[in-house]
Structure 1
């Protein structure tokens, strides 16, 4: 894939991307692997979260879609979920606020009565070329949204999750190969992998599994909204497969980890990196 240089204002929208990302809208085929399950997917308006929501619905799950304020993108995700015959609940708001994390869980429980799958995926990053250039408030916001939200979501959700439930955090190839220009983001992604490994052990006696996915360069609105245009044009060219991945190419891993087929998979970090190893 060759994408032209382009930039957007954060958090970005898929409608302005060239080419448009592939979320599996016309390719993903379900086979009942998540029949009857209830899932929360944060950052579900676009990118990886959107692809996961579509795949989950086509596998038989109802989905609460948490997002910031990208209403048009989120409504499109909900449309695909509903076209799959499943229920979609849209929940806008800033997960950097603990109260919003608790509200998301409360809404899922009120609507569906339980939670079977929690996908903590919403994240923020910004390219900065020096430490001094990183605003203090940007550091605080990145940690609050990327990392603290995972804690608050899990703490609120676990009482409503039974044996066989699954928690999935979105880590990154940056978790052990950090890009210096993405220092706050990379630090949170390493912490997510570590926290998920702890949760896998803390929650094992309840039958709740916890895993993380470590994507490499995936073509989502996060890229043109947080990187200079010339970097966007080169994005994904440095991995062995020589291109960025599509959100649709990541979603099947989230399906596997949420399904009962992964009943003995807990504490894992699954790389989806186009051939770039993680340590």
Structure 2
């Protein structure tokens, strides 16, 4: 996968080659009609593809993104409203627990309910050795990838009704951790276990919790956090021999969000280009 480097957090508008988040290709069929969804990290990549798909399936969409990602966030807002659905865009840094709680509160104020929660926002940075990981970078990775999921889910749970769906983005890295992403790997394994426990805790309320485990997906996070040689080879070691596009994950999130998956809870679904997960 050739491409140029970007400064973190990266931008969809600077991607070469461009990503496919379903802007032109995703066609909905009313599978989420009447639902309200909240998605974190939806300005680009997987979150953007999920926001587009959810809107075209009939859901109103609230979503968060970093304040510096304003341009990408406004484009997602345009795509959601262009599908005829209501959009709520809430910039904020989810490393701050109050920003997590505010995101849920704003969603409830705007829409009066919450049916689908997608914890997707993530941070990573390649470091060759553990000694190369700055303490503050370790703490930030935990804060964005794990702590934010905890704070957002905790704030949302009192407002979720039977039939609600929580979907968390884990990774193939949780089973097969590349050494250069040790902090990210650790959080993704934690997300998988958090989700499995959540499904068992809240099944008696009719709330489902599942996770999606992407493999190498071409998003702005890749050229913004990986060295050029890793970007060049990105995804070539999968059985399908290529990186995936964000739109290729969207149908899995739609399925897990929809009432069609009413007996699916505690699952972890691999979208990895053929690399198995345990």
TM category (shorter chain) comes to: over 0.9
Shift of residue 65, structure 1, vs aligned partner: 1.2
Whether 1:75 and 2:74 are equivalent positions in the alignment is: yes
Residue 80 of structure 1 deviates from its aligned partner by 0.7
Q: Distance in 2 between matches of 1:275 and 1:194?
A: 22
Q: Which runs of 5+ in 1 are unaligned?
A: none
Distance in 2 (alpha carbons) for counterparts of 1:97 and 1:184: 19
Does the Cα contact within 8 Å between 1:5 and 1:230 map onto a contact in 2? Answer: no
Q: Which residue of 2 aligns with 1:124?
A: 123
Structure 2 counterparts to residues 22-41 of structure 1, below 5 A: 22-41=20-39
1:5–1:231 Cα contact (<8 Å) kept: no
What residue is the counterpart of 1:54 in the other structure? 52
How far did 1:14 drift?
1.0
Distance across 2 between alignment mates of 1:53 and 1:203: 25
**In the alignment, is the contact (CA less than 8 A) between 2:32 and 2:258 conserved in 1?**
yes
Q: TM-score, length-normalised on structure 1?
A: 0.98
Does structure 1 residue 88 correspond to structure 2 residue 87?
yes
Task: Please give the alpha-carbon distance, in whole angstroms, between the structure 2 residues aligned to 1:240 and 1:6.
Answer: 25
Q: How does 1:1-279 map to 2 (within 5 A)?
A: 3-69=1-67, 70-279=69-278
Q: Distance in 2 between matches of 1:184 and 1:54?
A: 30
What is the CA distance between 1:183 and its match in structure 2?
A: 0.3
Secondary structure of 2:132's counterpart equals: coil
Q: 1:5: Cα distance to partner? A: 4.1
Moved over 6 A (4+): none
Please report the TM-score for the alignment, with normalisation by the length of structure 2: 0.99
Partner Cα separation in structure 2 for residue 6 and residue 240 of structure 1: 25
On the 8 A contact 2:3/2:17 being kept in 1, the answer is: no
RMSD: 0.6
**Structure 2 unmatched runs, 5+:** none
1:128–1:181 CA contact under 8 A, matched in 2: yes
Deviation at 1:4, TM superposition (A): 1.9
Check the 8 A contact 2:146/2:191 in 1, yes or no: yes
- Distance, in Å, in 1 between the alignment partners of 2:89 and 2:59 is 15
Higher helix proportion (structure 1 or 2)? 2
**Contact kept in structure 1, 2:32 and 2:58, CA below 8 Å:** yes
Q: Distance in 2 between matches of 1:95 and 1:156?
A: 13
SS of equivalent residue, structure 2 residue 76: helix
State how far apart, in whole Å, the 2-side matches of 1:58 and 1:217 are.
Answer: 25
Paired positions, count: 277
